[in-house]
Structure 1
Amino acid sequence: MKKRMVLSVLSISALIALTACGNNSVDSGGESGGQVKLTLMSTATVKADMDTFKEIVADFEKENPNIDIEDTYPGDGYEDLARVKMAADDMPDLFDTHGWAKSRYGEYTEDLGDMEWAANLDPAMKPILTDDEGKLHAFPINQALDGLSYNKTLLDEYGIEAPSTFDEFMEALEAVKEKSNGKVVPFWLGGSDKSQFGQYFDQFSTPLLITDKEDSYKKELLDGSFDWSNYTYLPEKLKEMNDKGLLNKDVLTAQLTQGPELMAQNKIAFTMLNGSIGREVTKLNPELKVGTMPVPAIHPGDSPSWIGGERLTLAVSKKSEHLEEAKQFIEYIAQPEVAKKFAEGTSLPSALTNVEADNYFAEFYKQYEGTQIQPYFDRMYLPSGMWDPMGSTGQELIAGTMEPEQVSKKMAQEYTRLRGK
């Protein structure tokens, strides 16, 4: 059985070494005994998502014994590894575009517009994945509706309603701490992976800086004139949560994979793990129900919003030595029964209109039907590369090596530097 690599934080030397698994290498891009080897790199980090991916890859290999797929999941090191591979012009045969299909990866992707599944692409996804020339850059495995996941069983027991504003969210965290006598973590983050802090800042930047008409900085963010002191509210609130014991004590060392198990043990109230968290928790504890909710509003009079767009995708490298086989895998996962399996396994809506999936969070999506869906903040308003400082400044803030104002100053410096590239 081939080895599937699950990677975390990668050193530069490790990144360079890993470029050998690109599609031009003898081990992964060539053929041996008539068998084609494809490399696949995904941003999936949640265990249930990776398990679903691996199962579907294995099923494909059984049906196509002449094709061997080496699937890797670099986790927090995905962007760094992708940059190394782009610089070497040696992208994997199949890779995740994670929100940057057109702007970051466009020159490396094969046009998939002539494939049969393209006719069933959800209209909401077309502008995200298709450029002005009509090139379709990637296949969307699912669609994201991100917000907060929560232990509904526990909150019902405590008489706590799902919050619709940030103030209510803070009150709910305080109530969980009080009612559980400190035995339940009000807001759990797997902060050993800096993307958890990035997710906090990215999702809450939308209600802070975009959706409220009186406090919208769309123009300033896009033209480079944004005053980053307006961002300081978010690190201040994160620091307040930590100071008040509303975050897990091991927030800087906690692993993402611990989240579902801890919630299944009724040790977590709220988390920023989305998608398959519900199905995974209920599998561990059938008596527990996980809920999902939009991102709470911050300014008075504003409304909650989902943060959406592409979640998991796969693009085909236009320089793959095995374009036909790589597109064959895309055709396979675009089949309604396989796309349904992906949607249900990741607990997110399919991006294909001919797929009906039994989604774990369906009742909550219906409950919040009509809620505005906003694009990811960093993808829409920030230059490429800002995700890393978003996450690392959060880690430094909690570690005590940065104050909230310094977080905003660092973000301003990186914003200016990256816009200049």
Structure 2
Amino acid sequence: MKKRLTVSVLSLSAMMTLAACGGDNADSGSGDGGQVKLTMMSTATNQADQDIFKEVVADFEAENPDIDIEDSYPADGYEDMARVKMAADDMPDLFDTHGWAKSRYAEYTEDLSDMAWVENLDEAMKPILTDEEGKLHAYPINQALDGVTYNKNILDEYGIEAPKTFDEFMTALETVKEKSNGEVIPFWLGGSDKSQFGQYFDQFATPLLITSPSNSHGDALLDGSFDWSNYTFLPEKLKEMNDKELLNEDVLTAQTAQAPELFAQGKIAFSMMSGSIGRESTELNPEVKIGTMPVPAIHEDDQPSWIGGERFTLAVSKNSEHKEEAKQFIEYISQPEVAKKLAEGTSLPDALTNVDADNYFAEFYKEYEGTRIEPYFDRVYLPSGMWDPMGATGQELVAGTMSPEQVSEKMSQEYTRLLKQ
């Protein structure tokens, strides 16, 4: 499927951030005294994730004073900025492919297959990052194993087992509300960032539409014949959660940065937050234990699954004027001690076989060992550009400006429109 990029209008603040990403590569060349300046753009949104990136960048610059890295973290504005950059054929020297290494960003990446760390690349990551011609598009900083995050202390206190089905999940939310007398938020979303709603829809779309033998719509999604009324279950359930006060009251204004403090205070039972949330919460309150579980099954003939693949990566722009210096940074972060620091700092599994990272959620990954890992729904089954309406429709649904049926209709319209591009 050939995808055509369209340039969206950015807000003034987004344009300012875009400028901070380095502008033209020609302008980010050598600084005073011949210092090379590299631009780097990452999708890291959590403060802890950004902090570990900044620490590693600072360490690299200290060891390599002839190289200066201008790192930026546009958060929810990343995709808009990337589209503008791609349309201008002016990607940053180093950029995150966030799950689209072989499709959306393939023509903008330098081949990394000849680098030393490749011999230690986890076998599970090779097909995700390498195309049929053998081109390796990006370096994986870590691997994603997404599910649902929860406060284990609260579940233990209320006698709730980690849900294996969506029905059990809904029951667990209502149990939390009842037994806490409304003092604990059953399901917390930092909905000021529409990607939180996108995460809910994207992860639960897999058990709803893909993994159940009796309800598998993968082929229809890929050939354009999918009936979007089959999607309506998810907005219906989200609306039900909101109507029953199972979501946080401030869901549309809550910020993801609030999650660690709220988890530490015992105010949240379940969330779609992942990565460093466990470590951050426990640092604030050593008594709290954050757990993670696979995405619950929706249909009776299905089982829970992890949603995974790329999380944070770095690709080198094929048009970079400083490819060698950019590769030098990737070689640096692929050293076992640095790769370990990044994996542990982001609380996600490492992607290299010669790295032994101590992951916060290791005991939970072990508990669910053997659970299948499914790719992100939108990366496989939706055309480029669907992530934005997926999240935005969630905001509108909770705000009361869209019905569940209208959410599905909007998704159908955007899906059809984007398929044609």
TM-score surpassing 0.5?
Answer: yes
Residue in structure 2 matched with residue 156 of structure 1 by the alignment: 156
The one-letter amino acid paired with 1:401 is T
Q: What's the offset of the Cα at 1:18?
A: 4.4
What does 1:328-407 correspond to in 2, within 5 Å?
328-407=328-407
Does the CA-based 8 Å contact 1:23-1:29 persist in structure 2?
no
Is 1:28 the equivalent of 2:28?
A: yes
Residue in structure 2 matched with residue 325 of structure 1 by the alignment: 325
The one-letter amino acid paired with 1:274 is S
More displaced 10-residue stretch of structure 1: 328-337 or 25-34? 25-34
Deviations 1:80-130, CA, capped at 9 Å, x for gaps: 010011111111110000111111111111110000001111111111111
Distance 1:276 1:19, change over 3 A: closer
The one-letter amino acid paired with 1:389 is P
Cα distance in structure 1, aligned partners of 2:120 and 2:418: 37
Deviations 1:242-282, CA, capped at 9 Å, x for gaps: 00000001100111111111111111010100111111110
What does 1:79-118 correspond to in 2, within 5 Å?
79-118=79-118
Q: What's the offset of the Cα at 1:47?
A: 1.4
The one-letter amino acid paired with 2:402 is M
Cα distance in structure 1, aligned partners of 2:25 and 2:321: 10
Cα distance in structure 2, aligned partners of 1:209 and 1:82: 29
Residue in structure 2 matched with residue 281 of structure 1 by the alignment: 281
Unmatched segments (≥5 aa) in structure 2: 1-8
Cα distance in structure 2, aligned partners of 1:283 and 1:324: 38
The one-letter amino acid paired with 1:308 is G
Residue in structure 2 matched with residue 311 of structure 1 by the alignment: 311
More displaced 10-residue stretch of structure 1: 228-237 or 115-124? 115-124
Q: What's the offset of the Cα at 1:318?
A: 1.1
Residue in structure 2 matched with residue 168 of structure 1 by the alignment: 168
Q: What's the offset of the Cα at 1:19?
A: 4.3
Q: What's the offset of the Cα at 1:31?
A: 2.2
SS of the equivalent of 2:214 reads helix
Cα distance in structure 1, aligned partners of 2:36 and 2:176: 54
The one-letter amino acid paired with 1:242 is N
Q: What's the offset of the Cα at 1:26?
A: 6.4
Cα distance in structure 2, aligned partners of 1:152 and 1:77: 33
The one-letter amino acid paired with 2:176 is V
Q: What's the offset of the Cα at 1:154?
A: 1.4
Does the CA-based 8 Å contact 1:236-1:404 persist in structure 2?
yes
Does the CA-based 8 Å contact 2:17-2:74 persist in structure 1?
no
More displaced 10-residue stretch of structure 1: 306-315 or 153-162? 153-162
Deviations 1:375-408, CA, capped at 9 Å, x for gaps: 0000011111110110000000001110000000
What does 1:14-25 correspond to in 2, within 5 Å?
14-20=13-19, 21-22=21-22, 24=24
Q: What's the offset of the Cα at 1:44?
A: 0.5
Cα distance in structure 1, aligned partners of 2:335 and 2:368: 29
Does the CA-based 8 Å contact 1:198-1:391 persist in structure 2?
yes
Distance 1:26 1:134, change over 3 A: closer
Q: What's the offset of the Cα at 1:70?
A: 1.1
SS of the equivalent of 1:38 reads strand
Deviations 1:123-157, CA, capped at 9 Å, x for gaps: 11111111111100000000000000100011111
Q: What's the offset of the Cα at 1:15?
A: 4.0
Residue in structure 1 matched with residue 256 of structure 2 by the alignment: 256
Does the CA-based 8 Å contact 2:25-2:92 persist in structure 1?
no
**TM-score of the two chains, using structure 2 as the length reference:** 0.96
Cα distance in structure 2, aligned partners of 1:89 and 1:25: 10
SS of the equivalent of 2:131 reads coil
SS of the equivalent of 2:256 reads coil
Is 1:293 the equivalent of 2:293?
A: yes
Does the CA-based 8 Å contact 1:22-1:85 persist in structure 2?
no
Cα distance in structure 1, aligned partners of 2:409 and 2:26: 46
SS of the equivalent of 1:186 reads strand
Does the CA-based 8 Å contact 2:25-2:93 persist in structure 1?
no
Does the CA-based 8 Å contact 1:23-1:320 persist in structure 2?
no
Q: What's the offset of the Cα at 1:29?
A: 3.6
Distance 1:25 1:13, change over 3 A: farther
Does the CA-based 8 Å contact 2:151-2:290 persist in structure 1?
yes
Residue in structure 2 matched with residue 129 of structure 1 by the alignment: 129
The one-letter amino acid paired with 1:58 is A
Cα distance in structure 2, aligned partners of 1:223 and 1:125: 26
Q: What's the offset of the Cα at 1:14?
A: 4.0
Unmatched segments (≥5 aa) in structure 1: 1-9
Does the CA-based 8 Å contact 2:186-2:246 persist in structure 1?
yes
Q: What's the offset of the Cα at 1:179?
A: 0.9
Residue in structure 2 matched with residue 218 of structure 1 by the alignment: 218
Cα distance in structure 2, aligned partners of 1:160 and 1:296: 14
Residue in structure 1 matched with residue 77 of structure 2 by the alignment: 77
Distance 1:64 1:154, change over 3 A: same
More displaced 10-residue stretch of structure 1: 385-394 or 153-162? 153-162
Cα distance in structure 2, aligned partners of 1:95 and 1:419: 26
Deviations 1:310-359, CA, capped at 9 Å, x for gaps: 00000001111111111000000000111111111111111111111111
Cα distance in structure 1, aligned partners of 2:55 and 2:148: 27
Cα distance in structure 2, aligned partners of 1:11 and 1:109: 24
Q: What's the offset of the Cα at 1:11?
A: 3.6
What does 1:55-70 correspond to in 2, within 5 Å?
55-70=55-70
Q: What's the offset of the Cα at 1:23?
A: 5.7
Does the CA-based 8 Å contact 1:28-1:70 persist in structure 2?
no
**TM-score of the two chains, using structure 1 as the length reference:** 0.96
Distance 1:387 1:83, change over 3 A: same
Percent identity for Structure 1 against Structure 2: 78
Cα distance in structure 1, aligned partners of 2:144 and 2:123: 15
The one-letter amino acid paired with 1:349 is P
Does the CA-based 8 Å contact 1:93-1:320 persist in structure 2?
yes
